[in-house]
Amino acid sequence: MIQRASLSRAVRLAFTAAVLGATPLRAETIKVTIDNFTFTPADVTVKVGDTVTWTNHDDIPHTVVSAGKYRSKTLDTDDSFSFTFAASGDYKYFCSLHPHMTGMIKVE
């Protein structure tokens, strides 16, 4: 009886571990607005696997560039660019058309 109870418990634990291990974590999408020559919010903290989406609400084009990491096409009014962060670290970015526009994504 003890062996059967232990086996049953082991099967339940294995099943629970398999189900929990197969459950994907819910990734977030964080929005950054480009307006009046600024990124808002300029500093964002996200988790590995999260996506940041920048949307240009200015009436002139902008870009989103993190040297060696990602680069958007030129974003016209209401265009968006998204990037999913697969590794932790600090990702400084800027607009290549207006280099005074800067921001930071911190990935934990």
- Residue 26 to residue 61: CA distance in whole angstroms: 32
Second-level CATH architecture of 29-107 = Sandwich (2.60)
- Residue 90 to residue 98: CA distance in whole angstroms: 21
CA angle 60, 62, 67 (to 5 degrees): 165
pLDDT digits (tens, 9 = 90+) for 37-51: 999 999 999 999 999
pTM of the predicted structure, to 2 decimals: 0.76
Whether the pLDDT of residue 22 is over 50: the answer is no
pLDDT digits (tens, 9 = 90+) for 64-103: 999 999 999 999 999 999 999 999 999 999 999 999 999 9
Q: How confident is the model at residue 6 (pLDDT cuts 50, 70, 90)?
A: very low
